[in-house]
Amino acid sequence: MIRIAPSILSANFAALGEEIRKVEEAGAHMLHVDVMDGHFVPNITIGPPVVRSVRKTTRLPLDVHLMISDPDKYIPAFIEAGSDMLTVHAEATVHLDRTLNFIRSQNAGVGVSINPATPLSAVHHVLGLVDMLLIMSVNPGFGGQPFIPYTVNKIRQARQIIEDHHYRCAIEVDGGIDIDTLPEVVQAGAEVLVAGSAIFHAPDPARKVKELLEIAARLGYHSV
Ligand code: DX5
Ligand code: ZN
């Protein structure tokens, strides 16, 4: 099933509860929360206190995307704040296997992400340990950037590896997703679609969520 994960990065933070309510009522499946530290990526966003407040305002699962160096240090705080799924970048931790097992030991969903220029081989061996592989389709750091087309091939390759090994790992794609780019990523095998500016900068965010869901439902990836 295709799932839509609105990224609150592009929402109005002064009215976050209201923004979340709109996408939740429209049928979004989870909320994508972008955490940036000004070190791993050239931007700073939010930390555990905001996750804790968001947790109280929605029933949607919180898909927390850690774009931070040395994630192990902060994993317990983000889980304690109410994250359902924690995704770390393969580029941000030296001992990736240990980091992923650490998240698992804290009873949260486990995700691993790679930047556009990082080859799939960086995560091939850990795909059996994770619930989600997040393939970045922009360089992380900012909302509203254009989709990088060569990442579609990585989605296709990842789908093949996951099916060949019967891994239970969903493919998530993040960056530049809107009605024009959604079809190719879904057809390549992505199942969880993050969209920030497309949803929250739209005149009617709820309507945009429904539009993305309708297009995705018509296209759904069919494994062979
Ligand atoms: C980028 C973040 C994304 C961002 C996507 O570093 O990881 O989640 O919100 O924004 P859009 O959908 O505008 O490309
Ligand atoms: Zn993200």
Three-state SS string over 16-29 comes to HHHHHHHHHHCCCC
Q: For residue 145, with 0-12 CB atoms within 10 Å meaning exposed, 13-18 middle and 19 or more buried, which class applies?
A: middle
Q: Which residue is closest in CA terms to ligand 1's atom 6?
A: 140
Is the shortest distance between the CB of 143 and ligand 1 below 6 Å?
A: yes
Query: Which residue numbers in the chain have pLDDT < 70?
Result: 220-224
What amino acid occupies position 143? G
CA of 127 to the centre of ligand 1 (A): 23
Q: Which residues surround ligand 2, an ion (CB under 5 A)?
A: 34, 65, 174
CA of 139 to the centre of ligand 1 (A): 9
Among the listed residues 39, 41, 43, 36, the one whose alpha carbon sits nearest the alpha carbon of residue 64: 36
pLDDT at res. 219:
86
Ligand 1 atom at minimum distance from 9 CA: 9
pLDDT at res. 221:
57
Annotated active-site residue 34? The verdict is yes
Is the shortest distance between the CB of 53 and ligand 1 below 6 Å?
A: no
Annotated active-site residue 37? The verdict is no
What amino acid occupies position 102? F
Ligand nearest the Cα of residue 10 is 1
Among the listed residues 96, 188, 174, the one whose alpha carbon sits nearest the alpha carbon of residue 136: 174
pLDDT at res. 224:
35
pTM of whole model > 0.95? yes
Q: For residue 187, with 0-12 CB atoms within 10 Å meaning exposed, 13-18 middle and 19 or more buried, which class applies?
A: middle
pLDDT at res. 223:
45
What amino acid occupies position 205? P
Most ligand 1 atoms within 8 A of CB, residue of 12, 145, 172, 178 to mutate: 145
